[in-house]
Structure 1
Amino acid sequence: MNAAPRLAHPALPPLRGSVAAHASLADFIWFRTGGEAEWLVRPADVDDLSTFLTALPADVPVLPVGVGSNLIVRDGGVPGVVVRLPKRFASVSVESDVVTAGAAAMGITVASAARDASLAGLEFLRGIPGTVGGAVRMNAGAYGREVADCLIDATVVHRDGRVETLAAAALGFSYRHSGLEDGAVVVSARFRGVPGDKAAVTAEMDRIAAEREASQPLRSRTGGSTFKNPPGEKAWQLVDAAGCRGLKIGGAQVSEKHTNFLLNTGKASSADIEALGEEVRTRVKAQSGIELEWEIQRVGVKQ
């Protein structure tokens, strides 16, 4: 992203929530790498966020971040405002066949609430290691389902401060993508389940958990699936066929357990991780003729 003018604290609009200058993002981003946020903002509630964004100068970039499970923050940091919703945005409730979730709720929390209400169709969210907000923004999916299959609507605070509830059909969903504009912050979402057998739903969630544990490097510093699956192909198979299993650049490595995962082996920089991903893309293109697309979002300024 292009660098924006640095902000003096008085330039920030009032906020009832918290504001931190030069805040570490590596403290919670899954890779544990990357530079600081110029300003890390945690709004008190939706009205607080709306008022803040309405008054924030239009040329200041805004980036919503959840738990950073599918994110590379570049080493030069993120200029402008990073919005991270606090725990009060993580409530989940169920009424009839509708699960309402704050955008800071984790996918597993939504899946578990649906299970407890004997609702099926949301089990795949057990395999999404991020927040509801991130899942909506990128149309997250796993195990044959995606957010677009079950989302009713999402409430969004636009970059200009407008609060709007958008039906799923208005979100421009495609594979691992939504049409939400830069700076828009998802604050809540509603999902529809279908009546099901609680034991069967539990068994499916357990199957997903076991499959993830067996096939993915869950206990490593990683960023989830690195590349999108090309039509008719599996990204990990293309990476493996190109001889990239275990490939290293600096402190970054292609996972030997699942080749569509990159790892911080302990001392990687974000530059190492991104360079490794680009090297994998180059080798896959040379070997197969297929150009892999990044699924991980890369943000901030390169050093």
Structure 2
Amino acid sequence: MKQRQLGKNGPMVSALGLGCMGMSDFYTTGQDEKESMATLERALELGVTMFDTADMYGPHTNEELLGRFLKGRRDHVFLATKFGIVRDPANPNIRGTNGHPDYVRKSVEGSLKRLGTEVIDLYYQHRPDPSVPVEETMGALADLVQEGKIRYIGLSEVSVSLLERAHKVHPVTALQTEYSLWSRDVEAEILPACERLGIGFVPYSPLGRGFLTGQIRSMNDLEPDDYRRFSPRFVGENFAKNLQLAEKIGELAQEKGVKPSQLALAWVLSRNDNLVPIPGTKRRHYLEENIAALDVSLSEAEIAAIEAVFPFHVAAGDRYNAEMMRILSEH
């Protein structure tokens, strides 16, 4: 397994991580703990070391799943989890954010218990809380580093100005934000800022929530309770327009003799050496396909051909529904 460093002074991790969310949430039909456990085991066998979860996945059930898997294996995993998105118990689709120092401490204690570990390697603030200065949240996280409860601090989906403010309080090791061929916004300001500050970048949804795999041809390919049915890019005319883009990527992949997912991942991997994507899957065969993308090299001409299909802002529809976009816009 190839290794990459998370930022200028961060740890060495596998060049591809594993997003674990779908094993427990948002794609609920077809969940299979036995297969999820086998996928986690296979990831370790193939050299994947960075496993990504969050307390809001479930809520809590994804951390509990990882906690069961990590027994006897903790030393082989670089464990990343997150806090800060709060789901309404009565309606989990309603969400808020919380970055108060007392909530940070309460959250880390809960995650440590569920994960069955004494330390979290990388602890992210999942979304910024506009009601709490980031300096206060970072101060609480810095205290947790001093106490040995977390090793590194991460942020997710923050602006450059917020990232810079946080980094002055305590070094930020990694920033996690959506990044793929159909979500290239971070190239304008975020990626240059990470490079300037020596912060690693962790793209989530590098396969466009599965759209870039070529596996989704119609809404009938999504289970009735699949959250993507309510995602703007999967609805109505947006779906049809985005499907045409995915089909063109499929054609380029066929010409190269690789799968569309591998071409899309290889493109993300080619962007930056301090970038570690975390494609999510709950099945071994998709995991193996994704890892094979590390062996796909792209020429400048191939990259140009891919980017001609997916220039900036070409995807139809917002990344999230109105409520989630509101949370993102608040910072």
* TM-score scaled by length of structure 2: 0.27
Higher strand proportion? 1
From the two aligned structures, give the one with the greater helix fraction. 2
Q: TM-score, normalization: structure 1?
A: 0.28
